C-alpha cells in the first residue's frame, strides 16, 4: 500500500509536469507530436494622412531646394561675395574719382598760375589777348576762361557769364550761360590784380567714369546673382536627389529590407564616406539580424526534438505510474533531457556574455604554453578511450606569455580538442602545436580525420550550426561559436586549413591587443 501510494503521488507529479510542458508547447500541439503553433496575423489599419501633412509635403516638394543646405550655403557665399565685391568696387570708384578730380584741379591750378605770371610780367593786356585767343574754343573740349573787372563786367574769355564765388566750385552749363547744357564743370576763381579770373574744365570724363563703374557693378552683381542661383540650384538639386535616395534607402531598411544600401557616388566626398560607414553598419545589422533569425530557427528546431522526447518520456512515466510500475528510469531520462536543454541555454548566455566583453575585467598575464599542457593532460584519457592519439608538438620549457582570461583560453583549446575527438574515427592522430612569430602568439589543433568542406568552414562558427542537417546526434552546435567568441574577445584570428588529410585549426593572438584592458 505504501508503494502504491508513493507511485500515485509520483504519477500525479509526472502528469502535472507533462501537462505543464504540453501547455507550454501550445494548445495546438496534438498527441505526442509537438508542432509549432500557427502565427496569428492581425490586420494593421492604414492611417490616412491628414490635410496638414499633405500640404506640408507639397510645400516641401515645391520649395525643397530653397530649404536645402547646399542652396543656403550657395546663397550665403553669393551674399558674402557681393558684399566684398561691392566694398572693393566702392573703394576703387572713390579712389579713381579722387584721382580724376585731383588731375583736373592740378591742370586748372597750373593754368591759373601761368596767367598770374603773365599778368605780373607783362600786364593785363597780355592776359586779355590770351583769353581772346581761346574764345573760339568750345568749353566742353578745352579750358573755360572768364575774366571780369572790378564791377563784374566781362572783359574776355569763352564764357558769357560765370556765376562763381572765390575758390573751388562745381557749376552747371546754365551757371556759365550755356543754354541747354546740363553738364557739370569744375571751376576755380581768383583775383589777378583788380580783375577776377575764373578758370575751369568739364567733368564729363568723371561722369562717364561714374556711369561705367556703376554699370560694371550692376552687371557684375546681376551676373553673379544669376550664376549663384544657377550653381546653387544645381548643387542643391543634386544634393536633394542624393539625400532623397539616402532617405528612400533608410525607409526601406526601416520597413524591413535589410539588404537595402545607401547609394555611393564616385565623387568620394564626405556624404559618400558617411554613406559607406552607414552601409557597413547596415551590413553588420543584416548579418546580426539574419544570425538572430537563424538562431531562433535553430533553437526552435533543436529544442523541438528534446522537448518532444521529454514530453513522451513524462507521458510514458505518467502512464506507468497509473499502473503501479516503477518510473525511475523514465524520470532519469527526462532529467537528462532537461539538463541538455539547460546546457544549450547556458552556452548561448555565455557566448552573449563573452561577446559583450564582460570578461575583460578578469584579464591577467599568463602562459599560453601552460594552458595547452593543461588541456592535453586533462583530455588525454578521453582521447585514449576513443582509440585516438594526442601529440604535443612543442619544445620543452617553451613559454608563450599572453594577457587575457586564462579560463576562457583553456575552454577554447578544450573545445577544439573535443571537436576533433568527436568527429574523427579510431586511430586518428590529433596534434597540438604552438609558437610565436614577432608579436603574434599562435597555437594549432590538427587532426587526420574527415575535415570540413571549404564552403562550410565559415558557417561552422554560427550558433547552432551543424554539418549534419538531420541533427540526430547529440550536441548543441555551439562549441565552435564559443571558440569564435573567445577568440574575438582576445583579438584573435581563426583559420581553418586542410591538413591533408584532416583539418588544421590555427588561432593567432596579437599581444598588443586588447590595449584597453591592459
pLDDT at residue 104 is higher than 90: no
Which residues are registered as beta bridge partners of 442? 435, 508
* pLDDT for res 445: 93
C-beta of residue 230 within 8 angstroms of C-beta of residue 71: no
Of 157-161, 243-247, 408-412, which range is least confident? 157-161
Q: What is d(CA 430, CA 428) in angstroms, rounded to the nearest whole number?
A: 6
Cβ partners under 8 Å of residue 379, min gap 6:
390, 414, 417, 418, 421
pLDDT at residue 310 is higher than 80: yes
Of 27-31, 52-56, 442-446, which range is least confident? 27-31
pLDDT at residue 36 is higher than 60: no
Q: Residue 439 burial (CB < 10 Å; 0-12/13-18/19+)?
A: exposed
* pLDDT for res 56: 55
Average pLDDT over residues 197-216: 84
Please write the tens of the pLDDT for every residue from 228-256: 778 777 777 777 788 888 888 888 888 88
Please write the tens of the pLDDT for every residue from 60-90: 555 555 666 766 777 787 788 778 877 887 8
* pLDDT for res 51: 59
Structural domain boundaries of the chain?
1-31+258-356, 63-253, 360-510
In sequence order, what DSSP letters do the residues of 444-496 get, joined into one string? EEEESS----GGGTTGGGSTT--S-TT--SS--S-HHHHHHHHHHHTTEEEEE
Please write the tens of the pLDDT for every residue from 269-292: 788 888 889 888 888 888 778 777
Write the CA distances from 459 to 253, 454, 456, 478, integer angstroms.
25, 10, 5, 12
pTM listed for this prediction:
0.47
pLDDT at residue 358 is higher than 90: no
Q: Residue 272 is placed in which grid cell?
A: 559618400
Please write the tens of the pLDDT for every residue from 469-503: 555 556 667 788 888 889 888 888 999 998 888 89
CATH top class, domain 360-510: alpha beta
CATH architecture of 63-253: 2-Layer Sandwich (3.30)
Amino acid at each position: 500500500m505504501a508503494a502504491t501510494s508513493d507511485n500515485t503521488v509520483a504519477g500525479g507529479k509526472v502528469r502535472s509536469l507533462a501537462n505543464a510542458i504540453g501547455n507550454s508547447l501550445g494548445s495546438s500541439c496534438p498527441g505526442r507530436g509537438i508542432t509549432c503553433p500557427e502565427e496569428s496575423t492581425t490586420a494593421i489599419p492604414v492611417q490616412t494622412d491628414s490635410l496638414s501633412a499633405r500640404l506640408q509635403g507639397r510645400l516641401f516638394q515645391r520649395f525643397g531646394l530653397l530649404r536645402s543646405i547646399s542652396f543656403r550655403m550657395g546663397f550665403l557665399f553669393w551674399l558674402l561675395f557681393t558684399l566684398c565685391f561691392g566694398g572693393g568696387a566702392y573703394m576703387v570708384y572713390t579712389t579713381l574719382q579722387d584721382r580724376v578730380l585731383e588731375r583736373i584741379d592740378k591742370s586748372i591750378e597750373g593754368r591759373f598760375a601761368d596767367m598770374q605770371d603773365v599778368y605780373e610780367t607783362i600786364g593785363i593786356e597780355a592776359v586779355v589777348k590770351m583769353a581772346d585767343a581761346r574764345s573760339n574754343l568750345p568749353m566742353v573740349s578745352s579750358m573755360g576762361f572768364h575774366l571780369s573787372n572790378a564791377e563784374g563786367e566781362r572783359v574776355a574769355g569763352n564764357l558769357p557769364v560765370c556765376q562763381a564765388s572765390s575758390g573751388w566750385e562745381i557749376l552747371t552749363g546754365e551757371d556759365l550761360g550755356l543754354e541747354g547744357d546740363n553738364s557739370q564743370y569744375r571751376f576755380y576763381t581768383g583775383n589777378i590784380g583788380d580783375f577776377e579770373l575764373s578758370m575751369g574744365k568739364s567733368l564729363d570724363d568723371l561722369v562717364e567714369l561714374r556711369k561705367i563703374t556703376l554699370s560694371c557693378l550692376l552687371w557684375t552683381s546681376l551676373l553673379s546673382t544669376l550664376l549663384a542661383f544657377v550653381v546653387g540650384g544645381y548643387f542643391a538639386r543634386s544634393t536633394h536627389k542624393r539625400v532623397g535616395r539616402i532617405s528612400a534607402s533608410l525607409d526601406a531598411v526601416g520597413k524591413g529590407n535589410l539588404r537595402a544600401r545607401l547609394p555611393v557616388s564616385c565623387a568620394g566626398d564626405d556624404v559618400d564616406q558617411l554613406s559607406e560607414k552607414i552601409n557597413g553598419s547596415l551590413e553588420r545589422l543584416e548579418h546580426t539580424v539574419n544570425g538572430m533569425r537563424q538562431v531562433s530557427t535553430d533553437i526552435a528546431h533543436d529544442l523541438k526534438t528534446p522537448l518532444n522526447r521529454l514530453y513522451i518520456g513524462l507521458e510514458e512515466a505518467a502512464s506507468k505510474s497509473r499502473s503501479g510500475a516503477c518510473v525511475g528510469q523514465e524520470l532519469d531520462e527526462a532529467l537528462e533531457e532537461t539538463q541538455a536543454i539547460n546546457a544549450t541555454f547556458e552556452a548561448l548566455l555565455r557566448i552573449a556574455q563573452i561577446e559583450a566583453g564582460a570578461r575583460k575585467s578578469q584579464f591577467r598575464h599568463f602562459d599560453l604554453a601552460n594552458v595547452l599542457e593543461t588541456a592535453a593532460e586533462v583530455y588525454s584519457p578521453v582521447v585514449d578511450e576513443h582509440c585516438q592519439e594526442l601529440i604535443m608538438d612543442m619544445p620543452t620549457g617553451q613559454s608563450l606569455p599572453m594577457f587575457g582570461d586564462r579560463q576562457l583560453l583553456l575552454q577554447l583549446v578544450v573545445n577544439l580538442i573535443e571537436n576533433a575527438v568527436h568527429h574523427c574515427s579510431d586511430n586518428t592522430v590529433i596534434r597540438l602545436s604552438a609558437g610565436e612569430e614577432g608579436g603574434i602568439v599562435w597555437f594549432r589543433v590538427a587532426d587526420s580525420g574527415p575535415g570540413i568542406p571549404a564552403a562550410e568552414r565559415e558557417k561552422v562558427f554560427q550558433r547552432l550550426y551543424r554539418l549534419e542537417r538531420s541533427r540526430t546526434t547529440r550536441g548543441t552546435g555551439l562549441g565552435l561559436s564559443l571558440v569564435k567568441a573567445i577568440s574575438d574577445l582576445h583579438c584573435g584570428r581563426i583559420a581553418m586549413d586542410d591538413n591533408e588529410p584532416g583539418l588544421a585549426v590555427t588561432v593567432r593572438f596579437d599581444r598588443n591587443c586588447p590595449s584597453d584592458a591592459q
